[in-house]
Chain A
Amino acid sequence: MLRKVGVPLLAVVVFLALWELLVWANGWPNFKMASPSDLPPAFWQYKELFLVMGWQTLWRTVVGLVLAVIFGTLLGMIIGFSRIARDALYPLLVGFNAVPKATLVPVISLIFIGQHDFNTVLMAFMISFFPIAVSVGIGLSTLEPEYRDILRALGASRMSIFRKIALPKTLPEFFGALKVSATLAFIGTNLVEIVSPHGRGLGALFKSGETNGDYPLMFAVLIALAFLGIVLYYAVIFLERIFAGWAEREGG
């Protein structure tokens, strides 16, 4: 237990020390690069903004991610069970995924003018459903026929085969994808918050730091974002332990 918490914590401390050293050794001023020792004052000065805007970023990311899970799972089921749907949808999906999402920010903010929460959630969703859809699709389409046959031979319905075999068997792949998607969703949220300024979320705080030349604030926002990303990532790990803990090999 001590090792589990101590080692990552120590790594963070070492990282901060190296960063501090780098800035100090080069004699960089604050407007070039902030050092870790500049961050606590920045956090303290804007502590209320960090809480309010951090929450705005977090909830919009999580809502977008939840939508991505629902939509991605449904889409994955469709491409996993139907060959025709797979052949039809894959090029579209890959093409859509290849479009840099930053280019879509002006598009959606024009379509839904002023709907900032909606736009942000939409972007978090759009950027993060792809890995989930693909992993569920692949998990279902590569299910060995024998797994299906042990229940199909008993006359089990498609639904119970899905519930008892296909779904649990796909869970490890699903959670693997969810870890990627969770961090992607943050990128989506911040894209909208920074590219389409509307004064909400950590992205807006970053933007105001930039406008005012407040470099410590900008770096503090980056750290806050990293922190939120880590929190969400470990929330996913926690869920994975509960629902797909069996997939973990001991001593691995």
Chain B
Amino acid sequence: MRPVFKKAETIENLIEIKGVKHTYTTASGPLPVLDGLDVSVPAGTFAAVVGPSGCGKSTLTRLVAGLMKPDEGEVWLHGERVRGPRNTVGMAFQNPVLLEWRTILENVILPLEIVAPRMSRADRTSRAMDLLEMVGLAGFEGKRPSELSGGMKQRASLCRSLVHKPEVLILDEPFGALDAFTREDLWQTMRDLRRAEPFTAVLITHDLRESVFLGDQVIVLSGRPARTQYVMDVDLPEDRDLDVLYTPKVAGMLGILREQIKIAQGREPGRESGRPVEAH
């Protein structure tokens, strides 16, 4: 069993991003997106990354996934330099990108066809069914993606990202396009999945409440080009309930994060959120 909700300083960092710089070449000249990005995610923890729109958050996920290399700096995964994609990574996006020509079950199985080509059909199916059951999609395995609601599609997409038991789960705003209630449901699903199967996660989000509810640390990126501007350790009980979001403690944390986002957006820090509360 890997330790799950332990404090950062006691465990090795599974994901380590050091001094990463990256510039895209566009038609209108070079576009620096990352400039001095430092992120450390201890094994088994959940890092939520927030920042202004277009600040390079998605670039961060592509770096960790090994889908691109940074111009400068280093990305380490499990003590190894990331040089390309590796099959210990799972990804889920805002768009659930389910394949319409496959049933939900076949969609969830897809990564196993690449990662574990020798695994028997029965084993694949039972693994996928376990996950589908966990997220409340039992009975929908034979449906086509278009027959499911947005929230259900996203649940299936989460199953697919986890089916091969990845060490690292990369979530690029997976709940961004859902309505508020569905989103809160999925936060809880995410929490339960994590309890059932430990993994290390990086979650990109625009929702500060989501970052606090799911994250063990919240990393605020500055505006473009992004650097690590602020890191908040989320000191909340392991088994969080949605109610925790309505406590004064969390209100204080959200206040700090809001201030930080304003700074990241290049605005004067506001005064309306009251006295900042120290997160530690």
Residues of A within 8 A of B (CB): 144, 146-147, 149-156, 160, 164-165, 168-169, 171, 244, 246-247, 249
Contacts and interface: CB of A to CB of B under 8 A. Distances in A.
B87 interface: yes
Contact of B110 (A151, A152, A171): A151
Nearest to B100: A246
27 contacts: A146-B93, A149-B62, A149-B67, A149-B91, A149-B93, A150-B97, A150-B110, A150-B160, A151-B110, A151-B114, A152-B67, A153-B65, A153-B66, A153-B85, A153-B89, A153-B90, A153-B91, A153-B170, A154-B87, A155-B85, A155-B114, A164-B110, A165-B99, A169-B99, A244-B101, A246-B101, A247-B101
Given A150-B160, A164-B113, A155 B86 contact: yes
Interface of B: 62, 65-67, 84-87, 89-91, 93, 95, 97, 99-101, 110-111, 113-115, 144, 146, 160, 164, 170
Contacts of B90: 153
Given A153-B67, A154-B111, A154-B164, A247 B100 contact: yes
A154 B113 CA distance: 11
Contacts, number: 59
A233 to B, nearest CB: 23
Contact of B114 (A160, A168, A247): A160
Which 9 pairs of residues, A with B, have the shortest CB-CB distance?
Answer: A246-B101, A155-B85, A153-B65, A156-B114, A154-B87, A154-B114, A146-B97, A153-B91, A168-B101
Contact of B89 (A146, A154, A171): A154
A171 B101 CA distance: 10
A156 B86 CA distance: 9
> Which of A151, A154, A165 has most chain B Cβ within 10 Å?
A154
Nearest to B157: A150
Given A168-B99, A244-B101, A150 B91 contact: yes
A78 B95 CA distance: 28
> Which of B65, B97, B113, B144 has most chain A Cβ within 10 Å?
B97
